[in-house]
Amino acid sequence: MRLQVERFLTRLRAAKNCSPHTLRAYRADLEGFRTKFPGLEASDIDRSHIRRHLAELQSGTSARATVLRKASALRSFVLFLRREGGLSRDPFLGVPLPKRTRCLPKFLTEAEMSEILAAPASAGAGSERDRALIELLYSSGLRRAEVSTLNVGDADFLSGTVRVFGKGSKERIVPVGESALKCLRAYLRSRGGPSDGEPLFTNLRGARISQDGVMFLVRRWIKKSSLLKKVTPHVFRHSFATHLLNHGCDIRVVQEMLGHASLRTTQIYTHVSLDRLRDVYKGAHPRGR
């Protein structure tokens, strides 16, 4: 089965332009299935293998999103085998799949975000970088992987935008607020004006900052504020989308800025904060005033 898995991942890489992160996750998911049934040939996969695998996944400690991803990886692999003629029947036929649940994304209120942005930068090397990174995360709603891969030339200070390569290497142009642009200019000046091909954000050794590095800097910044919440780079992204929609931004514009392929993914952000809910209620209900 190992050879078929490699062929499947090669097809994903070539045909669907999947990100390295997705390919690593699918490889690990399929390897977990393969090692669970040693000696099993791909052509012999049947319902009993699928049912046992899904039952063990759901009885474990993995989050529902992880279980769904593992099931999706296996289902995509099975579909690939059937298209290639390596599997004559669908082993997923009649097998109940776990239900997908939609949880409201964690986000910060505008007051909480202002509190974070007002936190004092740490003294010494990296202080201007940290503030620029924090401002950009909230200003443009970027994923930490997208921030990590930015080059200096991707930031256009004349148009006030940044060119981002998102999931599947899809390119998009995202606006950047004046506050974030000001911090980025100060940070690049402190580096002596790097060339366009150099990384936009670097670590203290001068190398491109990693995704884990972005996470570390966010956590360190949050500790300096008085906010007693767990905040990740993705919480900045959720807050970015929520605040835009709460102020009347068109959902399709938000979809474009976030880089979502489907509007359904963006619709989870159409929840509103409690304050916004109260304001709309008071203004619309005849007995709400």
Query: Residues with catalytic annotation?
Result: 143, 167, 234, 237, 260, 269
Task: Spell out the SS3 assignment of 131-172.
Answer: HHHHHHHHHHCCCHHHHHHCEHHHEECCCCEEEEECHHHCEE
Distance CA 25, CA 203 (A): 26
- Please say whether the dihedral angle defined by the alpha carbons of residues 227, 112, 160 and 251, taken in this order, is positive or negative: positive
Decide: 143 and 117 in contact? Cβ < 8 Å: no
DSSP structure class, residue 173: E
* 49, amino acid identity: H
Retrieve residue 226's tokens: 């008085």
